[in-house]
Amino acid sequence: MKILVTGGLGYIGSHTVVELINNNHQVIIVDNLINSNLEVLNKINKITANNPIFYEIDVTNEEKLEPVFREQKIDGVIHFAGLKAVGESVLKPLDYYYNNVLSTIVLARICVKYKVNKFVFSSSATVYGDQPSPLREDMELMKTTNPYGETKAISERILTDTNYANKDFAVSLLRYFNPIGAHGSGLIGENPKGIPNNLMPYITKVASGVLEKLKIYGNDYDTVDGTGVRDYIHVVDLAKGHVKAIENLHSGVNIYNLGTGRGTSVLELVNTFIKINNINVPYEIVERRQGDIATCYADPSKAEKELGWTATMGIEDMVRDAWRFERNNI
């Protein structure tokens, strides 16, 4: 298939582009580089010996995006482009609603116009809110706790309504749990600008000495050791899930959890990182972070049953690959 990938130079997008090429798909990337850089295109080329077509375009710009669909015969889209920092979304809600919701509307409008009937969307486990894990796709969605999460819930609704009105327009809503790790080549990975918000990039920055100490947000949750529990998934496993999702997308609105089904606490992740990489990560326990929940992990059985997809890598692979990428990019 010829697949247009928005946000294809970002963290998850770049890994997915590699897996799409590995599976003989032709890839067109659209990215405005707001949270990535062109160097990633060279890295994709190094890994795959393939040069995907690249357009530097903002997906919210319908006038600029539409000609891409006129020029290329596109079979399907995977929509990663979006802003993703939860804390920033509270401070800049309009930027988040504008970018994340409008990009979904614009892309879906053009897809309907050009009869591009496969649409895969990057959603998030955050749409479940604070419900007991394991989380299943048929659970009702709870009120989201920040503008970022709301942009995902709204985008899911927009795409569902678009399918209702255009039955040929097939949608896959992929709810990611916590992607970490990096490509085995060490060439692409997560490289956030500024101080990281998420746990894994913070750990690697502390291990490399860029940041002094990890702050663990609370050790009084009702979990195995009191620290927060999440379903960490290797980004390459996640990328492979997208290949399966678009290859198996035929009709309707299809919702899938992409997670491992296993919960890992903050302390377990930090200690595994220390042990596998043989490097120290100084940390201190501080107050809980506002908005955090104790436990969040997936029931991933629907994706296994319907897509034939299951995560294959464990926490040890994730911490090893994250650290390799960090060392290559210090």
- In the complex, the residues that contact ligand NAD under the rule CB under 6 A are 6-7, 9-13, 30-36, 58-60, 80-84, 99, 103, 122, 124, 176, 178-179
Report residue 83 as tokens.
Answer: 């802003």
Residue nearest to ligand NAD (CB): 10
Which entry of ligand NAD, ligand UFG, none binds 122, CB below 5 to 8 A by partner kind? ligand NAD
The H-or-E segment that residue 285 falls in is strand 283-286
Least CB distance to ligand NAD at residue 149 (A): 10
Please say which residue, 33 or 224, places its beta carbon nearer to ligand NAD. 33
Least CB distance to ligand UFG at residue 85 (A): 8
Please say which residue, 2 or 215, places its beta carbon nearer to ligand UFG. 215
Which DSSP string corresponds to 29-46?
Answer: EEE--TT--THHHHHHHH
E-assigned strand segments in 99-231:
118-124, 170-176, 178-180, 214-217, 229-230
The H-or-E segment that residue 104 falls in is helix 102-113
Q: To which residue do tokens 């326990």 refer?
A: 285
- Separation CA 112–CA 115 (nearest Å): 5
What Rg value do the Cα atoms of the chain yield, rounded? 19
Least CB distance to ligand NAD at residue 280 (A): 26
Q: How many Cα neighbours within 13 Å face the side chain of 106?
A: 23
Please say which residue, 285 or 302, places its beta carbon nearer to ligand NAD. 302
* Known catalytic residue at 148: yes
Exactly one of 11, 55, 96, 148 is catalytic; which is it? Answer: 148
Contact 261, 177 (CB under 8 A): no
Report CA 16 to chain centroid distance, whole Å: 10
- In DSSP terms, which residues pair with 296 in a beta bridge? 230
Which entry of ligand NAD, ligand UFG, none binds 230, CB below 5 to 8 A by partner kind? ligand UFG
Contact residues: ligand UFG, CB under 6 A: 84, 86, 124-126, 176-178, 197-199, 202, 214-217, 228, 230, 266, 289, 292
Which entry of ligand NAD, ligand UFG, none binds 162, CB below 5 to 8 A by partner kind? none
Please say which residue, 131 or 275, places its beta carbon nearer to ligand NAD. 131
Which residues does the annotation mark as catalytic? 148
